[in-house]
Amino acid sequence: MGGFFGVASYQDCITDLFYGTDYHSHLGTRRGGLAVLQPDGFVRVIHDIENSQFRSKFDGDVSSLHSWIGIGAISDYEDQPLLIRSHLGSFAIVTVGAVKNAGALTAEAFRGKGLHLAELSGKDINQTELAAMLINQEDSFEAGIRRLQEAVQGSCSLLILTDKGIYAARDKRGRTPVVIGKKQGSVAITLETCAFPNLEFTTDHELGPGEIVFVTPDGWEQRRPPLARLQICAFLWVYYGYPASSYEGINVEWVRYRCGATLARRNPLAIDLVAGIPDSGVGHGLGYAAEAGVPFQRPFVKYTPTWARSFMPQNQDIRDLVARMKLIPIDSLIQGKKCLFCEDSIVRGTQLRDTIKRLFDAGALEVHMRPACPPLVFGCKFLNFSMSRSEMDLAARRAIREIEGDKPADLSPYLRHGSDAYQDLEERIRRKLNLTTLKYQRLDDLVAAIGLPKDKLCTFCWDGAEPV
C-alpha cells in the first residue's frame, strides 16, 4: 500500500509536511521520502524506514529544509518521491496504488527509442518512475495524467510537485482516497484524513474517481472533473485505514463498530469476554461487546513502540515473528474464560493459528473468532493490500483446494454465505485454526456497515466482482 501528503503554503510548510507524511506510517514500512522546492531547485530526501520510524529518520533533515511547497510519501515498496527532468519541466512525483500491467506498459514504451527505466531488485520496475514516463509522453501534465489513468490496470493516485504548485489526481475508479484540506494560508492533500486535525486543516474537498486538481496556497482548481464510476476499496474500512480517518465522509472507526455489532446480532453466543486482535480488530470488538452486553477486555496487548503491522514483510518467517512478538498475553484475563475475538480478516491464517494456540496454552476454555469481513477468496488485482505472491497463500483458497483437490474448482458456491460449500469452507478453516467456533461477516452486512451502495465499493477479494 502506501500513502502521501502534500502542502502548499504562504509560510514555511516543512513542519506540516513532515507530520502530515508521518501520519501515513501505518501504510508502509519500507521507504519514506520528502521533496520540496527551494530557491536553488528541488531537494529530495529518502530513507529506509524498515528498522526505525519515519520521524526518527527525518528529524535531522527537517531542520535543514525550508520551503513553501512540498510532497511526501510512505511506501511499502519503491523509493519515492522521484525527481524528474523532462520537456514538461522539472518536477517531483509520488504515487499510491499498484500498476498490475507494468510489464506490458514498459514493453510498449520500449518500442520507442531512447527510453529506459531503472530496475529494482527482483527485476521489478519502480511504478512511480513508470508513471512519470507515461505522463511525459504528453504535452501537458493534465494530458499525461489522463494517459496514465487510462493505461493503468490496477490503480494509481498521485501527487506531482512543480515550481508553480501541486497536481493531485485520484485513480480512475477512486480505489484510494485523495482529500484536500485547508487552513489559513495553506492547502494540503492527503490520503488519510487523520493527518488533518492536529495540523489544524479541515476537509474541503474529496476528489472523485479520475479527478485532477491543481493546488496552490490560494486554493485548488479542477483540471479534470470526476468520472461517474466509483469503486473505492472496502478493505480500507475493514483493515488498512486509520480509525480517525474518513473516506467518502464515512469514518473508519464507526464502520468497524457497526461491523462488530452486526456480528453480535447474527450469531449470539454465551461468552465471558470480547476482545479485538490489536489494533484493527479493536473497533470491531468494541462494537460486538456493546451490542452483546459482554465486557470488552484486553487479554492481548500490543507492544506498539517498535513493532509494525505484520502484513508488510514479504518473508513469512518475519511476518510470523512480528505477529508473535508484538502481542503480549495477560494470563489472568484468559485462564478459565470463554473468549471471543474480533479480527479484521483472516488472510493467510498462519499468524492467527499461533495466537489461538497461545490463548489455549494460557488456559482459555473456549476461543471463538469473528472476522469482520467474508473469506478472502481472490488476491487483490487493484492494490498491494497483501504481499502474497499467490492466491494459494490465502487461507480460504487453501481450504477450497483441500475440498476440491488440484482440479480447477467452480468458486461460485463458496462465495454464497450459508451454502453447503461455504459452510464446508468455514468449517475447514475453523479446524485448521483450532477455534471453538468461526463465523465470518456476511458481505451484505459489511456493505451495510460502510453505508455506500455496493456498486460504489470494490469487493473483488471477497466475491470476484469486477467493474463493468
Condensed to tens digits (0 to 9), the pLDDT of residues 190-200 reads: 999 999 999 99
Is the whole-model pTM more than 0.85?
yes
Check whether residue 388 and residue 258 sit in a common domain: yes
Asked whether residue 434 is domain-assigned, the answer is: yes
Mean residue pLDDT across the chain: 91
Range of the structural domain that residue 307 is part of: 251-463
Q: What is the CATH number of the domain that holds 445?
A: 3.40.50.2020
Asked whether residue 242 is domain-assigned, the answer is: no
- Residue 13: per-residue pLDDT: 97
Check whether residue 279 and residue 144 sit in a common domain: no
Q: How far apart (Å, rounded) are the C-alpha atoms in residues 449 and 288?
A: 13
Contacts of 345 (CB under 8 A, 6+ apart): 235, 238, 239, 371, 372, 373, 376
Least confident of 59-73, 74-88, 295-309, 432-446: 295-309
Check whether residue 224 and residue 261 sit in a common domain: no
Smallest CA-to-CA distance from 167 within 89, 98, 241 is with: 89
Under 8 Å between Cβ of 211 and 317 = no
Q: What is the CATH number of the domain that holds 16?
A: 3.60.20.10
Condensed to tens digits (0 to 9), the pLDDT of residues 138-183 reads: 999 999 999 999 999 999 999 999 999 999 999 999 999 999 999 9
Check whether residue 197 and residue 288 sit in a common domain: no
Contacts of 441 (CB under 8 A, 6+ apart): 259, 262, 263, 370, 371, 372, 373, 374
Check whether residue 261 and residue 215 sit in a common domain: no
- Residue 311: per-residue pLDDT: 46
Q: Which amino acid is it at 325?
A: M
Asked whether residue 324 is domain-assigned, the answer is: yes
Q: What percent of the chain has pLDDT over 70?
A: 91
Q: How far apart (Å, rounded) are the C-alpha atoms in residues 452 and 457?
A: 7
Condensed to tens digits (0 to 9), the pLDDT of residues 43-98 reads: 999 988 877 778 878 878 888 899 999 999 998 878 999 999 999 999 999 999 99
- Residue 422: per-residue pLDDT: 97
Check whether residue 181 and residue 284 sit in a common domain: no
Q: Is residue 388 pLDDT above 70, yes or no?
A: no
Check whether residue 364 and residue 417 sit in a common domain: yes
Check whether residue 337 and residue 415 sit in a common domain: yes
Domain boundary among 230, 261, 296: 230
Cis omega before residue 81 (within 30°)? yes
Smallest CA-to-CA distance from 310 within 350, 339, 275 is with: 350
Residue matched to cell numbers 494460557:
362
Contacts of 152 (CB under 8 A, 6+ apart): 97, 99, 100, 101, 105, 171, 172
Asked whether residue 244 is domain-assigned, the answer is: no
Check whether residue 203 and residue 262 sit in a common domain: no
- Residue 316: per-residue pLDDT: 56
Tally of domains in the chain? 2
Check whether residue 174 and residue 256 sit in a common domain: no
Q: How many CB atoms are located within 10 Å of the residue 181 CB?
A: 23
Domain boundary among 230, 259, 291: 230
Asked whether residue 47 is domain-assigned, the answer is: yes
Asked whether residue 173 is domain-assigned, the answer is: yes
Check whether residue 226 and residue 297 sit in a common domain: no
Q: What are the grid coordinates assigned to 19, written together?
A: 507530520
Q: How many CB atoms are located within 10 Å of the residue 111 CB?
A: 7
Residue matched to cell numbers 450459508:
418
Number of residues in the chain? 468
Under 8 Å between Cβ of 37 and 161 = yes
